[in-house]
Structure 1
Amino acid sequence: MKKPTNVLAEGTTKKYLIGLSAMAVAFLFFLFSGFLFGDEDHSEIQQTPLDEPLHLRGAGDLVVEEWTYNPSKNLMIVTLKVNKSTSILNDTLSFVAQEKEHPNRELPTHVEYHDDQRYVVSIQQVSPSFDVMALDIAKEKNEHFAPETEGQASLKGGEEKEELARIYTDQREVQQDQTLSLQTEQEYEVAAISQDIKQAQQEVVDKEKQIQKIDEQLKKMNQEMVELESQQMYETEEEKEKTTARIDQLENEVDRFQRETTEHETTIQTLQEKIKMLKEKREMMES
């Protein structure tokens, strides 16, 4: 009668061990699944840096000044500054937006404002979990124009598109603004003028810092020349020649630095005049 009891106990122990092993395997699977299959939260961030020049494939430079997202309105606004080269001066830029969540769907985009250098592009119907948003920038070049009347031209052919760049924003990095909404063209123009004023003011600050550094260098060099001239009184002829050569070198460097200072001062004056005119233009538009 004892033998069946032992068999029963042995079977129970085996079932217990099998169950424990299964739990251990499941625990290890969930523990290491992030390493095996990748974790979306730890995927590489795809974000085009703001305020840094981006080359447009031989067509100039592009700077992403701002990329803002309003999740409550499924709306994005992208502000771009384009330093066009002569190859695209007469071309129109077009934009196509796609999100990683739905890569086969092109989102509605519209150029809300643009001038010679700046584009403000809206992207609508953005998914709440877009993950990564890509914005393709291309140039559209109209060809085969035939004159109709003086100063006008008609399009008799198609349009060529050439992709210039693709920029990204990541859902983990994009700036969110719950108050973001579409504005009028005049409001965007005022904002563009304000941005130009801000950039010009920063250039003035940078030039002033450069002048300050030059002044510090000039003081050191002038002091060194005074010391060299003083020690010449106690030098041999050979030593005097070397000292004179060093003084001449310093004088040339002083002249170069002084020319740089003059150039910076001229640039500052030009920028200050530009700032004044931009402020006057902004005041007229806001009045």
Structure 2
Amino acid sequence: MKNKLNRGRENKLYISILIVTGLAFGVFFTSKTWMYDDSAVAQTPFDESIGGLSQTTLILRDWEYNPTNELMEVTLERVQSGTDAVEPTFTFYAKEQNTSQKYNAELVYQSDNNMVVQIEDVPESFQVIGLFVTEHRDQNILKQEHKKQLQNNGDEVTITDQDIKETALPEPEEVIVVGDYRKIDMNQSLVTKTDKGYKKENIIADMKRHKQGITTIIEEDIPFQENLITTLTQEKDDLKQDMEFETKEEQAETEREIKQKEKAMKDAEDEIAKLEKKVEELNEKYQNREEELNALTQNKDENQQEKNEKTDAENAKTDQ
């Protein structure tokens, strides 16, 4: 009887240990999703210029991750900020913080100003991951710059492009765009799209930014300048009233203050004019992108219609 009781207690003990161990593993592997993380966020800011390259300014627009297929997608806007006549090309790879393992990163779409890079096989346990972007300038441009540098240094020997070794040219420049799991959007439906799919996404994102820019100017920036003018006008009127009871010396000082107020009012009026001009430009950009989106959608509908007609014709032929 005692042996049965002991075995029963041992079984309960083993079961308890297994349950606790299972819970511990569950906490360990899912704690990222529910436990508070007080470490510093390492995310590269969105919608801000990223320096470090000689010919290109990058802007991080979006960063998504699908844990199901372990796929990341990073959208970068690129602005040519250098003087090279030939735009540079780019290569990519990714690496998680504090590890040596590299992840394959592939450029899946690019337009005149956008690049979409996918990072493959990223485990859900990632914390901070860096996308390394390397800028490759045209070799002929680099050789010409090198020759000019030699000439400026007083080298009178005639040098041809063939004489210049690649080792003498500067190394490609590199920047790291950092993603923190707390700032990366989880997207369970993230997959590789067609070029038209990415183009449509970029157009919609541009339209959203233009609309937000218009809203900010109209609802915040212009009212701020208008309130500033109202405040300055009141202060100017108060100063004029005070002049009746001031000495000539005090009046001269007040006149200077009034002129300063008037200048600030004029600056605010000029700023409002600039902001209104900016609204016009953003509206024009929004309309252009909207037309581009409509044309893209129309082409898609026409292609689908042609496909349907072709299928119907083939079906009719088969029925005969």
Query: TM-score of the superposition, structure 1-length normalised?
Result: 0.71
Paired with 1:267 and 1:109, the residues of 2 have a C-alpha distance of: 37
Contact 1:139/1:161 (<8 A) preserved: no
Q: Deviations over 1:146-191 (max 9, x none)?
A: xxxxxxxxxx998986142112334455322111111111111111
Paired with 1:164 and 1:82, the residues of 2 have a C-alpha distance of: 14
Q: Deviations over 1:194-251 (max 9, x none)?
A: 1111222222233332221111111111112222223333434333323222222222
Aligned residue number for residue 278 of structure 1: 289
1:94 and 2:105 aligned = no
The range that moved more, 217-226 or 201-210, is 201-210
Aligned residue number for residue 117 of structure 2: 121
Paired with 1:44 and 1:267, the residues of 2 have a C-alpha distance of: 37
Aligned residue number for residue 49 of structure 2: 53
Paired with 2:82 and 2:104, the residues of 1 have a C-alpha distance of: 29
**1:202 pairs with one of 208, 212, 217:** 212
Aligned length: 236
Paired with 2:40 and 2:243, the residues of 1 have a C-alpha distance of: 64
Aligned residue number for residue 187 of structure 1: 197
> CA 1:170–1:207 in 2, change beyond 3 Å: closer, same or farther?
closer
How far apart are 1:90 and its partner, in Å?
1.1
Paired with 2:48 and 2:115, the residues of 1 have a C-alpha distance of: 16
Aligned residue number for residue 81 of structure 1: 77
> CA 1:196–1:161 in 2, change beyond 3 Å: closer, same or farther?
farther
Q: Deviations over 1:47-68 (max 9, x none)?
A: 3333333212444432222211
**1:242 pairs with one of 248, 253, 258:** 253
The range that moved more, 248-257 or 48-57, is 48-57
Contact 1:136/1:163 (<8 A) preserved: no
Aligned-CA RMSD value? 2.9
Aligned residue number for residue 135 of structure 1: 131
SS at match of 2:274: helix
1:269 and 2:265 aligned = no
Aligned partner letter, 2:242: Q
1:109 and 2:105 aligned = yes
Identity across aligned pairs (percent)? 26
Aligned residue number for residue 62 of structure 2: 66
> Of Structure 1 and Structure 2, which has the larger fraction of its residues in strand?
1
Query: TM-score of the superposition, structure 2-length normalised?
Result: 0.64
Q: Specify every segment of 5 or more residues in structure 1 that has no aligned partner in the other structure, as ranges.
A: 1-40, 146-155
Paired with 1:226 and 1:46, the residues of 2 have a C-alpha distance of: 51
How far apart are 1:92 and its partner, in Å?
0.8
Pairing of 1:21-32 with structure 2 (within 5 A): none
SS at match of 1:86: coil
SS at match of 2:207: helix
Paired with 1:244 and 1:141, the residues of 2 have a C-alpha distance of: 58
Contact 1:140/1:160 (<8 A) preserved: no
Contact 1:97/1:134 (<8 A) preserved: yes
> CA 1:170–1:247 in 2, change beyond 3 Å: closer, same or farther?
closer
Contact 1:109/1:124 (<8 A) preserved: yes
Paired with 2:98 and 2:258, the residues of 1 have a C-alpha distance of: 68
Contact 1:225/1:250 (<8 A) preserved: yes
Contact 1:138/1:161 (<8 A) preserved: no
Paired with 1:69 and 1:81, the residues of 2 have a C-alpha distance of: 19
Aligned residue number for residue 26 of structure 2: none
> CA 1:243–1:201 in 2, change beyond 3 Å: closer, same or farther?
same
Contact 2:135/2:172 (<8 A) preserved: yes
